[in-house]
Amino acid sequence: MGRKKTMIHTILLSVFLFTTDGMAALPAVVNGQPLPSLADMLEKVVVSVVNITTSTRIRTVEHPLLSDPFFSRFFNLPQMEREKTQQSLGSGVIVDASRGLVITNYHVIQKADTIAVTLRNGATLQGKRVGLDRETDIGLIQIPPEGLKAATLGDSDALRVGDFVVAIGNPFGLGQTVTSGIVSALGRKGLGIEGYEDFIQTDASINPGNSGGALVNLRGELIGINTAILAQGGGNVGIGFAIPINMAQRIIKQLIDFGEVRRGLLGISSQDLTRDLANAFGSSQLHGAVITRVIPGSSAEKAGLRPGDVILSANGRPIQDSASLRNLIGLALVGERIQMELLRDGKRRQITAEVTEPMIQRIDGKRIDPRFQGAVLEKKEDGQQVEPIIVIGVKPESSAWQAGLREGDRILSVNRQTVGSFEELSAVVQKNKQEMLLNIQRGQEGFFILVR
């Protein structure tokens, strides 16, 4: 009988966690035994989760033809520009009650002119941005600190696949909603959603409006910030992702201190350790990152790192692949020392390198080509990925201005070739002096400019 009772209780727990809302009418007690419930835990947690409404002012034109200055002047039409307000919804989590700090997603508050934060008790407060980090999709806002309760932070590094989790947010603007599931996978990378990816994957329902909400364990500890849905139409299909709270905490600290994340430089490029490469480097390990390049003069070179070194762990954490190493370096503070265990010539070694300020090069555009006259170009070198050359200034009416370049433009390619340095840019331009086909990214838009 005791075994049967255990089986019945297990089945009832599964029914509670994973059936539809239609089962909510189950009695609280069956045969004198209380059913398992998350209600007590949730009562302590939901007060820390907030709903976020943002407003963004957008200037529009009444008719498409009116946006053409020639058409307007020719017909002597008045300007018909109008301003409309676009609203969007999201969620957030109070992480510091004494200072009124609320963590959410970058994409929730990125373009907001005003931010309204609604607490669990229905009170609506005005929020202000503290800082944003696009690369991890994290934003931090501040609200008046009176009467707030912060979430208890957990340890996302202690999570295991199969752990029960609960997602809390504001899906579809319906108000605060709770869904449950399990951790489906850990360390998800390479999805192209964010610059630095180390996601917790869960089958707890995450829908539009849940962004920035809480992912908690069954103790009610915050272990992740809901950020993305992997579905073509944007709806939930059983696959959602959350930013681990341990990663988020490092970002929060920098946003508080600087209002931005100041990523440093180690000075290496790397690739995944494949089975063939492991055999070539004499490694019995099938995880790690192989150094492919060391930037001259960087801290990596000074520490003694070489191309061909296989990084096995860093600061005591196993390095699974090049993305793991990039995440660790990208989240490190300038001045932080990274202790690495590596394999070289079949032998294990310990090397410590310091994270330093990124190397930034600037050049007057006319030194590359007369058609760039009037532009100042900048190249940031971090060794981990190819950063585009950026136009940081253009003099009005200069050759570069007349060619169509503007401040903030990112040069993605020239004559259909990616250029990762000023030397490469100059070499590509010299091959064809008659014309340059520039692929430019300006804000969220990309286009080509033909310069003769």
DSSP string, 119-143: -TTS-EEEEEEEEEETTTTEEEEE-
pLDDT on residue 371: 87
As a whole number, mean pLDDT of residues 119-134 equals 89
As a whole number, mean pLDDT of residues 64-75 equals 53
Residue 380 parent element (H or E) = strand 375-381
As a whole number, mean pLDDT of residues 242-258 equals 91
- Beta carbons of 115 and 125 less than 8 angstroms apart: no
pLDDT on residue 361: 76
pLDDT at 11 over 90: no
What percentage of residues in the chain have a pLDDT greater than 70?
80
As a whole number, mean pLDDT of residues 72-92 equals 64
Q: Give the largest Cα separation in the chain, rounded.
A: 91
- For 420, the token pair is 């990762």
The larger pLDDT score, comparing residue 285 to residue 436, is at 436
pLDDT digit string, tens, across residues 157-187: 899 999 999 999 887 666 788 888 999 988 8
pLDDT on residue 103: 96
Q: How far is CA 224 from CA 46, 195, 229, 292, in A?
A: 15, 17, 14, 33
pLDDT at 202 over 70: yes
Q: Could you give the angle at the alpha carbon of 208 between the alpha carbons of 206 and 210, nearest 5°? A: 55
The structure tokens 């290496």 sit at 268
The structure tokens 């364990």 sit at 217
pLDDT digit string, tens, across residues 369-414: 888 888 898 877 655 555 788 888 888 888 888 888 888 888 888 8
Pinpoint the residues of the chain covered by CATH 2.30.42.10: 268-354, 359-451
As a whole number, mean pLDDT of residues 207-213 equals 83
- The superfamily in CATH containing domain 359-451 is PDZ domain (2.30.42.10)
As a whole number, mean pLDDT of residues 423-441 equals 83
The larger pLDDT score, comparing residue 53 to residue 434, is at 53
pTM of the model: 0.67
As a whole number, mean pLDDT of residues 116-144 equals 90
pLDDT at 134 over 50: yes
How far apart CA 163 and CA 184 sit, in angstroms, is 8
pLDDT at 196 over 80: no
Least confidently predicted of 33-37, 185-189, 197-201, 257-261: 33-37
pLDDT on residue 164: 93
As a whole number, mean pLDDT of residues 199-211 equals 84
Instruction: Write out the catalytic residue numbers.
Output: 107, 137, 211
Confidence category of residue 152, pLDDT binned at 50, 70, 90: very high
- Evaluate whether the domain defined by 47-52+87-261 bears CATH number 2.40.10.120: yes
Q: Which runs of consecutive H residues, i.e. helices, occur in 259-335?
A: 275-280, 299-303, 322-330
pLDDT on residue 19: 40
CB atoms closer than 10 angstroms to residue 406? 13
- For 118, the token pair is 């609604």
3-state secondary structure of 2: helix
The structure tokens 């959350």 sit at 242
pLDDT digit string, tens, across residues 313-326: 998 888 888 888 88
Three state DSSP letters for 26-89 = CCCEECCEECCCCHHHHHHHHHHEEEEEEEEEEEEECCHHHHCHHHHHHCCCCCCEEEEEEEEE
CB atoms closer than 10 angstroms to residue 43? 10
DSSP assignment of 139-153: EEEE---TT--PPPB
Confidence category of residue 93, pLDDT binned at 50, 70, 90: very high
pLDDT at 4 over 70: no
As a whole number of Å, the end-to-end CA separation of the chain is 88
Average pLDDT along the chain: 80
The larger pLDDT score, comparing residue 7 to residue 245, is at 245
42-51, 71-80, 170-179, 282-291: which has the highest mean pLDDT? 42-51
CB atoms closer than 10 angstroms to residue 262? 12
Least confidently predicted of 22-36, 165-179, 238-252, 286-300: 22-36
- What CATH number labels 268-354? 2.30.42.10
Task: List, in sequence order, every residue forming a beta bridge with 263; answer none if it has no partner.
Answer: none
Confidence category of residue 216, pLDDT binned at 50, 70, 90: very high
- For 258, the token pair is 């600087």
The larger pLDDT score, comparing residue 180 to residue 209, is at 180
The larger pLDDT score, comparing residue 67 to residue 428, is at 428
